[in-house]
Amino acid sequence: MDAMDGIRRMRWVRWVPLVVTPVLLLASTYPERFHVTPLYWVLSLLAAAIFAVGERYPLATSLAVSVIGGVLLTQEAWGMSGLVPYLAVIALLDLAARGRDGRAIALGAVVWAGAVTVDALTDPYGRSGPAQLAVQLLAYVGLPLAAGLYLRSRIQLAEQDRRRIAAELTGAQQTERAALARELHDLVAHHMAAIIMRVGVARTRTADAQSKAVLDDVHETASQALGNIRSLLTAIRTDQVGSPTEIDDVRGELRDAVQRTRAAGFAVTDSVDLSGEALDAIGSLTLVRVTQEALTNVMKHAAPGTAVSLTVAQTPTEVIARIHSDLPEPHGNRGAGHGLDGMAERARLAGGILDAGPVDGGWSVRLVVPTREARQ
């Protein structure tokens, strides 16, 4: 929970003065010796009410409570009722923490400082000299101002972190979507080209005019569709060179990923129970890419010799892959990279889910993707 969340969850605190103020006033009433005047009651409750409902307007709230507090300071008070005017201290702190700009904060501080100064200068007992006034200003104006500004800085840092994390997550999702779009473009283009070629061959071997016209139309439509696909996705295609985008042999790709990890010095065990037609193109791409990414992360963050296991199991409706390593936490923290975000986005786009976290004293990545039959 960041600083801003903390403030939002503590909104009920603004209503506490409405309960505490009458208690303070009643506790300061001594029969036949002293009682709180009606004016003091009205102004005290008014200040508490303004503070309670003034969350959206911190400057106006601070100014109003400071003025009322200044009036209360000039009134005769007894016992704990003398604490009520200092609700302006809390209002100033709130203004410093949430005020829109420095001028508003300065205005609030000057008004409350003026109220404190007037009270000191009009003290009928002459108890407030320059030194005492300086101490009062420091305690009642300086300290809440400093505390509010500190809280303001924490709120701003929390908001910056929230925006940065949101931007990083969005960037990772967009990157993964672009990569998947490039792969699907290559996959669709490959099959479309095959269709066009076969239709072209059929055109040359048919003598029936009606059939030839139909094949001509199919050939032309398919060619236009292929061109449109290429034009549409040109903007997201880059010169990146990666693994094959059409997975013909999922087991082979997984085996190659395991071999690369073993060659890097890791003790990898694998168990792959997967039929060749279990997954469609998107599911196959997702399984291979997530496995490659997870094993790459192990090689990046674990020491050679670390035990790693890859398990792929198949059910009638889903394929479950689990990559586990004897590593406390390969990613350190989420800010260290976007691998998990990218893998999770890829799994979601494939209709599956991805979980990653500490399991059995190590780190585990678990992917579930629907089978070809389940997606149909």
Instruction: Convert the pLDDT of each residue in 143-162 to its tens digit.
Output: 999 999 999 888 888 888 88
Written as one string, the DSSP assignment of 35-60 is ---HHHHHHHHHHHHHHHH-TT-HHH
Q: Which residues pair with 356 in a beta bridge?
A: 365
Stretch among 31-35, 43-47, 106-110 having the lowest mean pLDDT: 31-35
Between 240 and 142, the more confident residue is 142
The per-residue pLDDT for 335 is 38
* Average of per-residue pLDDT across 24-36: 78
Does residue 118 have a pLDDT over 50?
A: yes
Cα–Cα distance, 204 to 37 (Å, whole number): 107
Does residue 202 have a pLDDT over 70?
A: yes
pLDDT band at 332 (very low <50, low <70, confident <90, very high): very low
pLDDT band at 334 (very low <50, low <70, confident <90, very high): very low
Does residue 110 have a pLDDT over 90?
A: yes
* Average of per-residue pLDDT across 115-127: 79
Mean pLDDT comparison of 80-84, 218-222, 224-228, highest-scoring range: 80-84
Q: Which residues pair with 364 in a beta bridge?
A: 324, 357
Between 114 and 230, the more confident residue is 114
Cβ atoms of residues 304 and 265 within 8 Å: yes
* Average of per-residue pLDDT across 90-114: 91
pTM: 0.48
The per-residue pLDDT for 242 is 42
Does residue 50 have a pLDDT over 90?
A: yes
Does residue 109 have a pLDDT over 70?
A: yes
The per-residue pLDDT for 156 is 84
The per-residue pLDDT for 66 is 94
Between 142 and 122, the more confident residue is 142
Assigned token pair, 368: 């579930």
The per-residue pLDDT for 7 is 56
Alpha helices in the chain (DSSP H): 3-9, 16-27, 38-53, 58-73, 87-98, 102-121, 130-137, 143-205, 209-233, 250-263, 281-301, 339-349, 372-375
Question: How many percent of the chain have pLDDT more than 90?
Answer: 30
The per-residue pLDDT for 347 is 87
Q: How buried is 201 (Cβ within 10 angstroms: 0-12 exposed, 13-18 middle, 19+ buried)?
A: exposed
Between 92 and 336, the more confident residue is 92
Does residue 244 have a pLDDT over 50?
A: no
pLDDT band at 80 (very low <50, low <70, confident <90, very high): confident
Instruction: Convert the pLDDT of each residue in 291-314 to its tens digit.
Output: 988 988 888 788 888 899 999 999
pLDDT band at 9 (very low <50, low <70, confident <90, very high): low
- Mean pLDDT for all residues in the chain: 81
